[in-house]
Amino acid sequence: MSIIGVGIDVAEIDRFRAALERTPNLAARLFVAGELTLPGGERRGIASLAARFAAKEALAKALGAPAGLLWTDAEVYVEASGQPRLRVKGTVAARAAELGVRSWHVSLSHDAGVASAVVIAEG
């Protein structure tokens, strides 16, 4: 296996919150339903959403930031172990296949008002 791409991104949590409040449909354009809620159905916290958004930005960078990727074609989820993972479909899966991506590595963090993510595409 070899590294095909690496992406990193940060998001200011308060700025991200303001964007979601200012644009009511933004969350639906950025996230799939499973990303917006916790397993029990409770709404996910803003820091967690900002980290997921940063992961999607990092994913796009790892793929060379091509035009036409849909935010909802990438889903950040967490395994029972607590490890974050990526699930891709549609435009994101097509670009990943074009580049030969076979697996993803993702790391999320948020602290001191900033959310961050790193994504590695491996092929």
pTM: 0.94
pLDDT digits (tens, 9 = 90+) for 61-113: 999 999 999 999 999 999 989 899 999 999 999 999 999 999 999 999 999 99
Q: What is the pLDDT of residue 19?
A: 97
Can you give the CATH number for the domain in which 118 is found?
Answer: 3.90.470.20
Find out whether 14 is annotated in a ligand binding site: no
pLDDT digits (tens, 9 = 90+) for 19-62: 999 998 999 999 999 999 988 888 899 999 999 999 999 999 99
Q: How many domains does the chain have?
A: 1
Q: What is the pLDDT of residue 88?
A: 98
Q: What is the pLDDT of residue 24?
A: 87
Find out whether 57 is annotated in a ligand binding site: yes
Domain hosting residue 30, numbered range: 3-122
9-12's contacts with Cβ under 8 Å and 24+ in sequence apart are 9/54, 9/55, 9/57, 9/58, 9/61, 9/116, 9/117, 10/54, 10/114, 10/115, 10/116, 11/50, 11/51, 11/53, 11/54, 11/57, 11/114, 11/115, 11/116, 12/50, 12/113, 12/114
